[in-house]
Amino acid sequence: MKEIREKVIKEFRRRKYAESTIRGYSSTLFRLFDFYSAHLPTEITNIQVTSYARSLINQKKSHTTLRTLVFVCKIFFDHMHDKKHGIYKFKLPETPERSADFFEQSDILELIDRKENLKHKIIFLLMYSCGLEANELLEIQVKDIISKVENPFIILHDSKGNEKRKAYLSKRVIPLLSDYYKEFKPESFFIYSQKDKTKKYSYTSVSKLLKASVKEMELNPALTTRAFKYSYIKHLNQLGIPLIIILENLKIKEFNSHFQYSKLIHEEQKINFTPYDKLITTTEKTESFDDLESLVFKLKDLDEMDYLMEGIDCFRNGSLRAGVIFIWSSAIKNIRKQILDIDTLKNINEELNRLDSRSKKIKNIDSFEYIKDETTIHLAEKIGVFSKFEKNELINNCLGLRNKCGHPSNYKPEIQRVKSFVEEVLNMIYKKNVA
């Protein structure tokens, strides 16, 4: 079973799906495997998948959940194992009415990941991640992509060749751009015409590509290429970036444009109360945890990824105590794995016995559930995972904060203290063990 799951993840990575998408797709498929745990995954039939899907429908699972199930089953059964499952005989739940202006983030990520053709994937990826309109994308030339700097960017031009703005380029996108460059070898326009490398790709081709993809995913057929830019703005705004800052970065300066985008993003809102009616709740601004988020996508352990993503979400929502607990849950699991990787069970248990003669013997990673976290850290130091200094820092600072956050009290950690906790976890537990 473990080997099959590893092959699934390897296949998703081969298809160059984002790590967050791999996590979602894997979880969807592995839940199916667990549902039929008495069978080998490769022996699960079309009828069984259909039955499982209907059980999800009865649980009121969403259209997106069921659509994802069909998609990953097609990859696993039809493509990886040639089982020819074909069509599953159940009706997808009705979709709620979707906006004609925006993609849901889950939909746009799936839209990108579904593209097997690397050029098509790059088109959608750049339009969303850089907030591009189709004409901006099509004007990009090879020399406009500045990727070998600390903060990569793309220089965008208008049709007359005048520089419009610089678009931030995600470092997660660069490896795919490199693959695209090696495969397609663009010379002038980065996205070039299929018939002539010296000419740019056509707007009509981009529109047709989007229309076909929207139809395949059963999204709102009224969505146009501008939805990528609108979604970029809306999703950044949902992540806490003020609308005016986003528009300034996009070089959208006219008042009327600001007004129109504000209506588009925030929709019509009526004021039915006054400041006299409600108290203003002040919340401290949380620090950036970009280092932690970028690390998540390098991990292979799905449980660790889940804990870290939960922690990041908590930090973003201002729930610092909960975030600390989730981050520590991932960290202590990583420490346990390092202990098992670095020494034999015989030596590990001998050291453990010297530390605590009452502890149960360690047989596998699950055995650590009966060992205190502090003892685990002492054990890690004894067998060479950490230095004495690192051990003391982890126990006194990191574990100490975790215990304070987990204790039922009115304790409220300071943001800088949490930031320090994250940095110590990154530097002492993860960074030296992640490629």
Q: pLDDT tens digits, residue range 349-390?
A: 999 999 998 888 999 988 898 899 999 999 999 999 999 999
Closest CA to 347 of 303, 385, 310: 385
Asked whether the CA dihedral 103, 105, 111, 116 is positive or negative, the reply is positive
Axis-axis angle for helices 105-113, 226-238 (nearest 10): 130
Task: Work out the average pLDDT over 309-327.
Answer: 79
Q: What is the pLDDT of residues 142-191, one digit of tens each?
A: 999 999 998 899 999 877 778 889 999 988 899 899 999 999 999 999 99
Q: Is 195 helix (H, G, I), strand (E, B) or coil?
A: coil
For residues 323 and 312, is the Cβ–Cβ distance under 8 A? yes
Tell me the C-alpha distance between 82 and 74, whole Å.
10
Task: Say if residue 291's pLDDT is above 70.
Answer: no
Token couple for 211: 């229309």
* C-alpha torsion 400→406→411→412, nearest 10: 90
| Per-residue pLDDT at 142 | 94
pTM: predicted TM-score of the whole model, two decimal places: 0.57
